[in-house]
Chain A
Amino acid sequence: MKNFRILAVAAAAMCATSAVHAQEPLKIGMITTLSGPGGYLGQDIRDAFQLAIDMQGGKLGGAPVQVIVEDDALKPGQGKQIADKFIKTDKIKLLTGIVFSNVALAVVPDVLDADGIYVSPNAGPSNLAGKECNANYYVVSWQNDSLHESAGQNANNLGYKKAFLLAPNYQAGKDALEGFKRTFKGEVLGEVFTRLDQTDFAAEMAQIRAAKPDVVFQFHPGGAGIAFLRQYQQAGLTGVVPMVVPSPSMDAVTLKAIGEPALGLNVSAQWNSDFDNAANKEFVAAWMKKYNRPITYYASQGYDTALAIGAALKATGGKVEDAKAFRTAMLKADFKSVRGNFKFGKNQHPIQDWYAMRVEKDEAGVPVIKTTGKISSDVGDFYAKDCKL
Chain B
Amino acid sequence: MANPRSFPRFKGWLLPGLALACLLALPPVAQALGQPALVTLVTRMMILGLAASALNIALGMGGLISLGHAAFYGIGGYAVGILTTHAAAGAPFLGFIPGSDSLALNLLAALVASGVAAAIIGALALRTSGIQFIMITLAFAQMVFFLFVALKAYGGDDGMSFRRRNGLLDFNMRDDATFFYVSLGVLSLWLALSARLLHSRFGLLLGGIRQSERRMQAIGVNTFAMRWLAFVLSGMGAGLAGALMANLGRFVSPDLMHWTQSGEMLIMVVLGGAGTIFGPVLGAFALIGLETLLASWTEHWQIFLGPLLVLMALTFRGGLARLWRKGDAS
Please determine whether A174 and B37 come into contact, CB atoms closer than 8 angstroms: no
Interface of A is mostly: helix
Task: Tell me, rounded to whole Å, the shortest Cβ–Cβ distance linking A285 to chain B.
Answer: 27
B140: Cβ under 8 A from any A Cβ: no
Number of interface residues of B (CB under 8 A): 33
Task: Name the prevailing secondary structure of the B interface residues.
Answer: helix
The residue of chain B having its C-beta at the shortest distance from the C-beta of A102 within the complex is B158
Q: Binary interface profile of A, 26-37, with partner B (CB < 8 Å = 1, else 0)?
A: 000000001100
Q: Which residues of A contact B296 (CB under 8 A)?
A: 14, 70
Distance between B255 CB and nearest chain A CB, rounded to angstroms: 6
CB 8 Å contact bits of A166-198 with B (1 = contact, 0 = none): 000111101000000000000000000000100
In the bound complex, CA of A87 to CA of B37 (Å): 8
Among A7, A19, A81, A89, which residue has its beta carbon within 8 angstroms of that of B293?
A7
For the complex, is A319 an interface residue (Cβ under 8 Å from B)? no
B297: which A residues are within 8 A, CB to CB?
A: 14
Q: Which B residues lie within 8 Å of A77 (CB)?
A: 245, 249, 251, 255
Report, as a range, how many residues of chain A touch the other chain: 20 to 34
B37 interface neighbour in A11, A85, A106, Cβ under 8 Å: A85
A69 CB-CB contact with B under 8 Å: yes
A76-B159, A106-B159, A174-B156 are known contacts. Are A81 and B34 too (CB-CB below 8 A)? no
Q: Is residue B324 contacting chain A, with contact meaning CB distance below 8 A?
A: yes
CB pair A196 B161 closer than 8 Å = no
Q: Is the CB of A105 within 8 A of B159?
A: yes
Q: List 29 A–B pairs whose Cβ atoms lie within 8 Å, in order of A's numbering.
A: A1-B323, A1-B324, A11-B293, A19-B34, A35-B302, A70-B295, A70-B296, A76-B249, A76-B255, A77-B255, A81-B40, A81-B41, A81-B44, A85-B37, A102-B158, A102-B159, A105-B159, A105-B161, A106-B161, A106-B251, A110-B250, A169-B150, A169-B157, A170-B156, A170-B157, A171-B152, A174-B152, A174-B156, A196-B149
Chain B residues with CB under 8 Å of chain A are 34-38, 40-41, 44, 149-150, 152, 155-159, 161, 163, 245, 249-251, 253, 255, 292-293, 295-297, 299, 302, 323-324
Binding site for B on A (CB under 8 A): 1, 7, 11, 14-15, 19, 34-35, 69-71, 75-77, 80-81, 84-85, 87-89, 101-102, 105-106, 109-110, 125, 169-172, 174, 196
